Chains A and B, each alone.
Chain A
Amino acid sequence: MSEETSIEEVAETPISAIGPLGLTQVHPDHKKVMRIKVAIASLVALIPATIVQFAAPVPMGVIIVPVLVLAAFFIWRFPRRRYAYKGYDMGVDRLRVVRGYWWRADAVVPFGRVQHLDVQQGPLERIYGLATLILHTAGTHNASVPLAGLLRADAEEMRETIRQHIKRETL
């Protein structure tokens, strides 16, 4: 039981607790993009809930209301928390990407090891002018490290900076 309270405590700690290096947060619109994505996902869950609601002989709202409440909670809470715990640090010779709340991943990729770079934009990201920068290395484990929620211009600038570090391929 004590374990749970402690985790809650961690959850309430300020964002600065992410790491000692002082991470940069991604663009706030990234939260909106995630919200829309979660909303779409919950819509998928809502459809069977609605069918069951009308098909099963239960009072109005017994199934649909909890599902709606849950969906609303997810849409409000998840993107907020994930955004708060996402950050990056663009060093002189390396990029650090920290992401995740329950399961945290903290990856550092030296620019010298980058094989190639991608700047990706999904339809939702395009609406908000955001982009995802993906660093590909030759490694087998976490061979590609994505960083979502950057302004397109920033992502392209970062790509250029990193590219200048890759003088030539070694592997």
Chain B
Amino acid sequence: MSEKSKAVAEAPVEIPANAGLRTAPLGFVVKGIEGVKNAIFPMIAVLFATGSTDYRILIAVGVGAAIVLLTGFFSWLSWTRLRYYVGEEDIRVESGILSREARSVPFERIQDVSLEQKLIPRLLSLTQIKFETGAGGKDELSLEYVTNAEGARLREVVRERREGVVAKAPTDLVTDAIDDEAAPLAEDAEPIFQMDDRRVFTFGMFEFSLVIFAVLAGAAQQFEFLLPFDIWEWENWAGAAGKQTELVDGLSSLGAVGQILGVILALGSVAVIGVFTGMIRTFAREYEFRLDRTAKGFRRQRGLFTKTDVVMPAHRVQAARIQTGAIRRRFGWHSLKFISLAQDNGSSNHAVAPFAKMDEIWPIAAEAEILPPGTDLQWLRPSPKKWVDGGVLLAVILFLVAIGWSIAGFLKIALAIVVIGFPLIALGFWLAWKRHRFARDAGQLFVREGLLSPDLTIAPRVRLQSVEIKHGPLSRWRGYCELHLGLAGGTLSIDGIALDDAEKLRGEVLESIVSVDFSALPK
């Protein structure tokens, strides 16, 4: 199989003459506008570097214009040199100004197709289309920019062709039940999950973020030279405060009470800003979140400024992850994310329900054939030995330190280390052990981590790739190990599990994997 597809990928792929398509010409306008963005910094730099010349503004504008022109020229050049072609079995793209690159991605290998619209392309109704193959990020094929209609067409074509590939496969295959529907993408069907403004607002409340301070500090450092005074010099601030704000004067005259009040005010404003930033970020990302169940998979649309539209095939879901936070859990809010072969990073992650109640989450998971843990499910813990060992080791080190202090004549410090340190170690390692739980039922494996904000991973056993037991000298002697389960697109492991349990679990998982006939798995 791999040999064949490799051969396909390595064979010289050429677009038949006069068959290739170009990306949207307007895309070149977007690139030009991006060029303006790139020109701003050099312009400012030039403005300051030229010092007191009368023409410095003119020079700066000239440099900026040159950069915009160059960017425009090169993006025009690469636009003329880029052609894509949708073939019978693959998508081909030829690009490059001096060194030509021809690339072919077989439909079979495409994990999902995502459309992304940033603000400027969106205004011009253009979109960036990405074909994710799970190649590991950098080598993903993407076309910038095509018109919205063309993007939708390409996605449909990929979907149809991929199904076509399956249809051509040997006939001994059991057809997937979903195939029978053969329903077209139902635009007006009820979404299986969506978030209205109110939900997004509540979500935002929990997304406290102080990132704005980091940004401000970074910007302050970057543009320090523009400011008339040194912002890191506290005397300036004290001076400014003393001169201008009567409030501060008033407060300092109030003495200790006033200063405490000041601190509370400061903390309060930080909190307000934090909540506010979280709110804005959440709105920008999750605005009009909508998840649809299409004939073949899930379709997620969201975003305020940058609207994304991702389709992920249901059968490519390898596992589900349900996460929560310590506070939002009190209110019953959780998030559901699918682990799939396609890359899972940052904004393009596969969160299918970022903020939902559990009774909303399970129906979505069920669509990917992932079922909730039964009420009679027996949860197991790893062997406590690993944490006992860790605690003992740390205690011994601490004890040696204490001995060191007592030899040096500080008996009280030594005693304090023992009296405070030992219970802390015991508590810490006991809690660390308590964090881990796992369970399995007939078809799935559950791994849960965390006490206050548990993080649950549910993996259907048949979708696991391999099983590995690992141990070092200490763990082998003590009879525990790490159990690593190969999960495509993610990691799944149970640390500190007793060796017997690990071997038993491995046996069971392997039985589930090999007992499934490969060809019976949905393509």
**Chain A residues within 8 Å of B, Cβ to Cβ:** 3, 6-7, 10, 93-94, 102-113, 115-117, 136-143, 145, 166-171
Give the contacting residue for B477; candidates A6, A136, A139; CB below 8 A.
A6
Give the contacting residue for B470; candidates A105, A109, A116, A136; CB below 8 A.
A105
Q: How far is the CA of A103 from the CA of B482 in the complex (A)?
A: 11
A to B CB contacts below 8 Å, 14 in the list: A3-B477, A103-B472, A107-B466, A107-B467, A108-B506, A110-B513, A113-B464, A113-B486, A138-B134, A138-B341, A139-B464, A139-B465, A140-B490, A141-B493
**Chain B residues within 8 Å of A, Cβ to Cβ:** 1-3, 5-6, 108, 134, 169-170, 316, 341, 464-474, 476-477, 484-493, 506, 510, 513-514, 516, 518-519, 521, 523
Q: How far is the CA of A142 from the CA of B466 in the complex (A)?
A: 8
Q: How far is the CA of A104 from the CA of B502 in the complex (A)?
A: 14
Contact between A10 and B476, CB atoms less than 8 A apart: yes
Give the contacting residue for A112; candidates B108, B474, B491, B513; CB below 8 A.
B513
Task: Please judge, given known A-B contacts A139-B487, A142-B486, A167-B518, whether A10 and B477 are in contact too, CB under 8 Å.
Answer: yes
Nearest B residue to A92 via CB reads B514
Contact between B467 and A108, CB atoms less than 8 A apart: yes
Q: How far is the CB of A154 from chain B (nearest CB, A)?
A: 20
Q: How far is the CA of A169 from the CA of B341 in the complex (A)?
A: 14
Most chain B CB neighbours (cut-off 10 Å) among A3, A93, A139, A143: A139
Contact between B510 and A110, CB atoms less than 8 A apart: yes
Contact between A140 and B489, CB atoms less than 8 A apart: yes
Task: Please judge, given known A-B contacts A110-B510, A116-B3, A169-B1, whether A3 and B474 are in contact too, CB under 8 Å.
Answer: yes
Contact between A171 and B488, CB atoms less than 8 A apart: yes
* Further contacts, 11 of them, CB under 8 A, given A116-B6, A143-B486: A10-B476, A10-B477, A102-B473, A103-B472, A104-B476, A105-B469, A107-B466, A109-B465, A113-B466, A137-B466, A145-B466
Q: How far is the CB of B485 from chain A (nearest CB, A)?
A: 8
Task: Please judge, given known A-B contacts A7-B477, A139-B486, whether A106 and B491 are in contact too, CB under 8 Å.
Answer: no
Question: Main SS of the interface on chain B?
Answer: mixed
Q: How far is the CA of A140 from the CA of B510 in the complex (A)?
A: 18
**B residues near A10, Cβ cutoff 8 Å:** 476-477
Task: Please judge, given known A-B contacts A10-B477, A113-B513, A167-B519, whether A106 and B2 are in contact too, CB under 8 Å.
Answer: no
Q: How far is the CA of A51 from the CA of B485 in the complex (A)?
A: 48
Q: How far is the CB of A10 from chain B (nearest CB, A)?
A: 7
Contact between B488 and A110, CB atoms less than 8 A apart: no
Nearest A residue to B463 via CB reads A171
**A residues near B510, Cβ cutoff 8 Å:** 94, 108, 110
**A residues near B484, Cβ cutoff 8 Å:** 141-142
Task: Please judge, given known A-B contacts A168-B169, A170-B518, whether A137 and B465 are in contact too, CB under 8 Å.
Answer: yes
**A residues near B519, Cβ cutoff 8 Å:** 167-168
Q: How far is the CB of A40 from chain B (nearest CB, A)?
A: 27
Q: How far is the CB of B57 from chain A (nearest CB, A)?
A: 54
Q: How far is the CA of A107 from the CA of B113 in the complex (A)?
A: 34
Contact between A168 and B468, CB atoms less than 8 A apart: no
Q: How far is the CB of A108 from chain B (nearest CB, A)?
A: 5
Most chain A CB neighbours (cut-off 10 Å) among B466, B469, B484: B466
Task: Please judge, given known A-B contacts A113-B465, A115-B2, A138-B341, whether A106 and B470 are in contact too, CB under 8 Å.
Answer: yes
Q: How far is the CB of A25 from chain B (nearest CB, A)?
A: 19
Nearest B residue to A97 via CB reads B468
Give the contacting residue for B471; candidates A104, A112, A136, A168; CB below 8 A.
A104
Contact between B514 and A112, CB atoms less than 8 A apart: yes
Task: Please judge, given known A-B contacts A116-B1, A141-B491, A142-B486, whether A103 and B341 are in contact too, CB under 8 Å.
Answer: no
Contact between A142 and B468, CB atoms less than 8 A apart: yes
Contact between A117 and B467, CB atoms less than 8 A apart: no
Contact between A170 and B523, CB atoms less than 8 A apart: yes
**B residues near A145, Cβ cutoff 8 Å:** 466
Q: How far is the CB of A110 from chain B (nearest CB, A)?
A: 5
Contact between B466 and A109, CB atoms less than 8 A apart: yes
Contact between A103 and B514, CB atoms less than 8 A apart: no
Contact between A141 and B486, CB atoms less than 8 A apart: yes
Task: Please judge, given known A-B contacts A116-B2, A141-B484, whether A108 and B468 are in contact too, CB under 8 Å.
Answer: yes
Give the contacting residue for B316; candidates A106, A116, A167, A171; CB below 8 A.
A171
Task: Please judge, given known A-B contacts A6-B477, A10-B477, A116-B2, whether A140 and B488 are in contact too, CB under 8 Å.
Answer: yes
Q: How far is the CA of A34 from the CA of B518 in the complex (A)?
A: 38
Contact between B472 and A94, CB atoms less than 8 A apart: no
Contact between B486 and A137, CB atoms less than 8 A apart: yes
Give the contacting residue for B488; candidates A104, A106, A112, A138; CB below 8 A.
A138
**B residues near A142, Cβ cutoff 8 Å:** 466, 468, 484, 486
Contact between B341 and A171, CB atoms less than 8 A apart: yes
Contact between B468 and A105, CB atoms less than 8 A apart: yes
Q: How far is the CA of A94 from the CA of B506 in the complex (A)?
A: 12
Contact between B1 and A168, CB atoms less than 8 A apart: yes
Contact between A112 and B468, CB atoms less than 8 A apart: no
**A residues near B466, Cβ cutoff 8 Å:** 107-110, 113, 137, 139, 142, 145
**B residues near A166, Cβ cutoff 8 Å:** 1, 518
Closest A-B pairs by Cβ, 5 of them: A139-B486, A116-B2, A139-B465, A138-B488, A107-B468
**B residues near A112, Cβ cutoff 8 Å:** 513-514, 516, 518
Contact between A140 and B471, CB atoms less than 8 A apart: no
Q: How far is the CA of A141 from the CA of B488 in the complex (A)?
A: 8
Q: How far is the CA of A152 from the CA of B491 in the complex (A)?
A: 33
